[in-house]
């Protein structure tokens, strides 16, 4: 079976790594892929935004299944295009992908279906946004409506900071069209968790729980990033929380979408805040989280391919996912300056020491290879991921592996998974 994976980051490296283990997969293509992914798949230089070219390629190469990694092709309607040409593809269609593509759309769906979430207001002009702000309590949560690579959320301690953020979004257009509309939310206090499920629009198959670490520095300090690390499972997602999310979030959400003639088929990521009052929705993503995908793929014992096929075919109630009991932890190594401006082209040392690593895998997020040397080529560079008999064992092993890697300016958090450790 010939598979096409779209994307070239750490998430896609993990998906290619997992799909390559399926006995039914004969060849994997990846667009655009990376030098690291090229060790497992044939990489093709097509821009993931060029969805017509991608459909032409899939038809020409007789691709049996296309798996979409990043959000942008989904919001551009790649699934609608592929399906119109009789090509099998995993991911939600353009209408369903609005759950991630527009925070205002997702908040309206939440409100219309009485799904627990933060109180909010939506604005397109700075004056009315600041009037609303003046009536809220600190801290203030300001979100760009559109896609902003995980960086379009600001938590402001003071009203002055919040008003400056409004100007940054709506007046100075720091996020371009993604910030033409902003959502101002009530601040929720609690512990975050990532709850990912496969859904065919009627049935839901939960994946292992996980927790991301968004802030760039230890102790959840500094600006938001695309993700500095993740671990699975997340103890905060207790059996009770799990059931409440299925009952209070996913069931009414899918029903509400169907009432809008939207059938969601694909991976649905529910970003949660576990508050004293129970789980509340922070956001939705229409694809695998990154870096949550990395530890989840490492814990997935089942073949991934049949799960994706059952999602497309509306048969998720006929399959089950089997998991390794061992927890997994991913630590993201970044370039100096990330999530702001950062340098590229720094030589990475030590990867050869982990070439035959049995307890984990180094997933490449932003690297290039030149004359047999690995170089940094992005803000998030590597996702070092390990399994262990316990969270503590996985943490010890992953940081041992991190210690083998170095480059000028390498940065990483030293407290990934601390919330899951005993006595933390």
101, two tokens: 């593509």
423 pLDDT more than 80: no
Q: Write down the pLDDT at residue 109.
A: 95
For residues 306 and 117, the answer to whether their CB atoms sit within 8 Å is no
132, two tokens: 């609303």
Is the link from the previous residue into 74 a cis peptide, with omega within 30 of 0? Answer: no
Please indicate whether residue 124 or residue 9 has the higher confidence score (pLDDT): 9
Distance CA 185, CA 136 (A): 9
284 pLDDT more than 60: yes
Q: Write down the pLDDT at residue 424.
A: 47
Q: Mind listing the pLDDT tens digit for each residue in 287-335?
A: 999 999 999 999 999 999 999 999 999 999 999 999 999 999 999 999 9
What does pLDDT average to over the chain? 94
SS3 content of the chain, % helix, strand, coil (to 5): 35, 25, 40
176 pLDDT more than 80: no
Q: Mind listing the pLDDT tens digit for each residue in 233-270?
A: 999 999 999 999 999 999 999 999 999 999 999 999 99
207 pLDDT more than 50: yes
Query: Distance between terminal CA atoms of the chain?
Result: 46
Q: Mind listing the pLDDT tens digit for each residue in 348-379?
A: 999 999 999 999 999 999 999 999 999 999 99
For residues 5 and 15, the answer to whether their CB atoms sit within 8 Å is yes
Q: Write down the pLDDT at residue 150.
A: 59
């Amino acid at each position: 079976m010939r598979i096409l994976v779209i994307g070239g980051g750490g998430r896609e490296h993990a998906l290619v790594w997992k799909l390559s283990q399926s006995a039914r997969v004969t060849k994997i293509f990846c667009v655009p892929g990376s030098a690291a992914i090229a060790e497992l798949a044939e990489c093709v230089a097509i821009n993931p935004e060029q969805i017509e070219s991608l459909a032409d390629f899939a038809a020409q190469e007789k691709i049996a299944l296309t798996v979409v990694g990043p959000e942008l092709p989904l919001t551009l309607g790649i699934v609608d295009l592929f399906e119109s040409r009789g090509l099998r593809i995993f991911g939600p269609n353009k209408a369903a992908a609005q759950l991630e593509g527009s925070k205002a759309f997702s908040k309206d769906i939440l409100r219309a279906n009485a799904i627990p979430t933060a109180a909010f207001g939506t604005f397109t002009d700075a004056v009315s946004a600041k009037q609303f702000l003046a009536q809220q309590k600190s801290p203030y949560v300001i979100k760009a409506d559109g896609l902003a690579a995980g960086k379009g959320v600001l938590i402001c301690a003071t009203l002055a900071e919040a008003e400056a953020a409004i100007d940054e979004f709506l007046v100075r257009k720091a996020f371009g069209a993604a910030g033409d509309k902003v959502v101002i939310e009530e601040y929720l206090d609690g512990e975050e968790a990532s709850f990912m499920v496969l859904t065919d629009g009627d049935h839901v198959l939960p994946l292992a729980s996980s927790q991301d670490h968004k802030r760039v520095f230890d102790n959840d300090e500094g600006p938001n990033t695309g993700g500095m690390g993740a671990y699975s499972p997340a103890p905060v997602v207790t059996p009770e929380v799990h059931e409440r999310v299925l009952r209070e979030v996913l069931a009414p959400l899918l029903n509400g979408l169907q009432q809008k003639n939207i059938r969601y088929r694909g991976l649905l990521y529910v970003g949660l805040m576990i508050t004293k009052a129970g789980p509340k929705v922070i956001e939705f993503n229409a694809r695998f989280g990154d870096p949550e995908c990395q530890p989840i793929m490492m814990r997935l014992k089942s073949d991934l391919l049949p799960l994706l096929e059952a999602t497309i075919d509306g048969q998720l109630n006929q399959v089950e996912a089997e998991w390794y009991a061992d927890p997994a932890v991913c630590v993201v190594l970044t370039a100096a300056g990330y999530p702001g401006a950062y340098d590229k082209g720094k030589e990475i040392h030590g990867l050869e020491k982990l070439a035959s690593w049995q307890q984990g895998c180094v997933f490449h997020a932003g690297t290039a290879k030149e004359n047999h040397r690995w170089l940094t080529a992005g803000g998030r560079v590597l996702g070092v991921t390990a399994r262990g008999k316990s969270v503590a064992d996985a943490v010890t092993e992953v940081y041992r592996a991190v210690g083998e890697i170095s480059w000028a300016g390498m940065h990483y958090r030293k407290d990934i998974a601390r919330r899951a450790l005993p006595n933390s």
